[in-house]
Structure 1
């Protein structure tokens, strides 16, 4: 039996200070009283962005000025199978008003004060806590003291996440470097993620998660246990699909642009990057390969969560 899929566009309205808007479902609808991101169903022949703009105007009385695609969440409720296209809305015109009798609440990541949350929206809240900037260390290309100095400076500026990619180090040297980086002050948060290591043997490392190489990703039978965050490097649709099957928290996709670390491999290019993201994925994806902070708006306009920086982080 073919199950009808209800397609929905949802908007995550985000203020400059990071607060985002949740709305309660009005009486008379399934899950009345539950909190969700505002939006509504796509009409016949309507694309997700057009539906989002129409719904937010009808529900909230605002005009969307800036919205970028983000995640696609598929969820089976007892009454329906839904496919939700989430957009991050960072600019709008007009004051928010309740046009359908719903309540609104501005919320902060990690400090929700409303409940219950609509089930399909739960994973989205986790994705919002990811930094938009993912840093990869230099695999021994700069001195340890310089790496520590620059990482301290990064964490003084923003809540960047560091993937510690140092394959030239033995297990004990890697552990010692992890401990030194973990001891750095993180006034804005930020995370330290182990990369390409035997996570079963190193679960006592002072890290917040683990990042899988594409080879580790394809051979993994389940999500690594014992880590709050698990991500992976991907290059194509097959690897992205595997990351979804394992229930990972994020992916990096590339390399997007030409890079000195892969001189003999043709880059994906922005067109192919956008095509792969348009297939719809449930976890945030970072653009990697030849990226700079200046590329962040372009990457996000194509559906990326943010950018992953290699050499661009340490210049």
Structure 2
């Protein structure tokens, strides 16, 4: 079977805008928008292909980049590996050297442009932060608010409110106390619980347990068939390749993979280790956060392994 390796770039300027290009009308999927890139030649290093394609298409030379996501697609006659990188610095002036329309857009505007379906995971990865904080234990609402505020002040852009020791009524009470801290900001509040929470104002996303994930997949639930408001984030807890496949099937925005290392919160869970984690990330088709025994100092290692970033509890909660 024919195998094709394609490189693509999410190019950011100094204002965090993203460069996108419009496919010519006479090409396959003409009129749709895409992230610049092209085929990797046989034997060509991926970063060399990245530099070559961006020079040929846009007249720029990347000077700083890091891996974002790798997506495998299987077709009846071929397999395609889409190798996506984030470019944060470059020389030259970006323009359509092949006559294509190019445009700098803010991340908040990306959803208003039509991309090929295969680009959906890239869009998710481009919009998600590289750090995901999960709340730990606390004593009372004031301490909860203080710790969350400290995390937000430290640059934690997305936080999951996790409190399994609370009753559903208590969780709701504490959640209502947190919502104003996020209201009117770009910061994301993720919750635990039922899918109905996704429909509520003030809640940006839902983090599914692996049991919820497996149940939804068993029932044939698919996000594109459900009345989930645009822009809501759906995250799934995964521990193995089967669950990562389920997460992609139901249409999650991203997933967590755990435990990468030994963790105090789940002392009996066998850690995956970095080798197995890398192998699982290699085949994942949605953005994935590494979780379990990790902190800010592991962020680069997670990204280099193919993850969206790092998820943690203790590392930020105890600031």
TM-score (norm 2): 0.83
In the aligned structure 2, how far is the partner of 1:268 from the partner of 1:141?
29
Q: For 1:212-223, list aligned pairs within 5 A.
A: 212-221=208-217, 222-223=221-222
Output one character per residue of 1:14-43: Cα deviation in whole Å (capped at 9) or x when no partner.
234321111223465334443211100222
Q: 2:7 touches 2:84 (CA, 8 Å); kept in 1?
A: yes
Task: Give the alignment's Cα RMSD to 1 decimal.
Answer: 3.1
In the aligned structure 2, how far is the partner of 1:262 from the partner of 1:24?
47
In the aligned structure 2, how far is the partner of 1:48 from the partner of 1:285?
21
Alpha-carbon spacing, 1:136–1:185, altered in 2? closer, same or farther (3 Å):
closer
Alpha-carbon spacing, 1:129–1:270, altered in 2? closer, same or farther (3 Å):
same
In the aligned structure 1, how far is the partner of 2:180 from the partner of 2:279?
40
Alpha-carbon spacing, 1:230–1:290, altered in 2? closer, same or farther (3 Å):
same
Q: How many residues align?
A: 309
What residue in structure 2 maps to residue 293 of structure 1? Answer: 296
1:274 aligned onto 2:272 = no
1:112 Cα deviation (Å)? 4.5
What residue in structure 2 maps to residue 312 of structure 1? Answer: 315
Alpha-carbon spacing, 1:165–1:27, altered in 2? closer, same or farther (3 Å):
closer
Alpha-carbon spacing, 1:201–1:83, altered in 2? closer, same or farther (3 Å):
closer
1:204 Cα deviation (Å)? 5.3
In the aligned structure 1, how far is the partner of 2:51 from the partner of 2:194?
46
Q: 1:107 touches 1:113 (CA, 8 Å); kept in 2?
A: no
In the aligned structure 2, how far is the partner of 1:202 from the partner of 1:58?
43
Q: 1:68 touches 1:303 (CA, 8 Å); kept in 2?
A: no
What residue in structure 2 maps to residue 175 of structure 1? Answer: 172
1:294 Cα deviation (Å)? 2.9
Once the two structures are overlaid, the 10-residue window that deviates more, 201-210 or 288-297, is: 201-210
In the aligned structure 1, how far is the partner of 2:100 from the partner of 2:199?
45
1:51 Cα deviation (Å)? 2.7
TM-score (norm 1): 0.84
Q: Give the match's secondary structure for 1:110.
A: helix
Q: Give the match's secondary structure for 1:162.
A: strand
What residue in structure 1 maps to residue 21 of structure 2? Answer: 23
Q: 1:155 touches 1:187 (CA, 8 Å); kept in 2?
A: no
> Which of 37, 40, 54 is the aligned partner of 1:39?
37
What residue in structure 2 maps to residue 153 of structure 1? Answer: 150
1:147 Cα deviation (Å)? 1.6
Greater share of residues in helix? 2
1:73 Cα deviation (Å)? 4.3
> Which of 234, 253, 261 is the aligned partner of 2:238?
234
What residue in structure 2 maps to residue 265 of structure 1? Answer: 269
Q: Which runs of 5+ in 2 are unaligned?
A: none
What residue in structure 2 maps to residue 95 of structure 1? Answer: 93
> Which of 160, 165, 172 is the aligned partner of 2:162?
165
1:180 Cα deviation (Å)? 0.5
> Which of 39, 64, 67 is the aligned partner of 2:65?
67
1:211 aligned onto 2:211 = no
Q: 2:159 touches 2:190 (CA, 8 Å); kept in 1?
A: yes
> Which of 230, 241, 252 is the aligned partner of 1:248?
252
What residue in structure 1 maps to residue 122 of structure 2? Answer: 124
Alpha-carbon spacing, 1:201–1:193, altered in 2? closer, same or farther (3 Å):
closer
Alpha-carbon spacing, 1:244–1:27, altered in 2? closer, same or farther (3 Å):
closer
Q: Which runs of 5+ in 1 are unaligned?
A: none
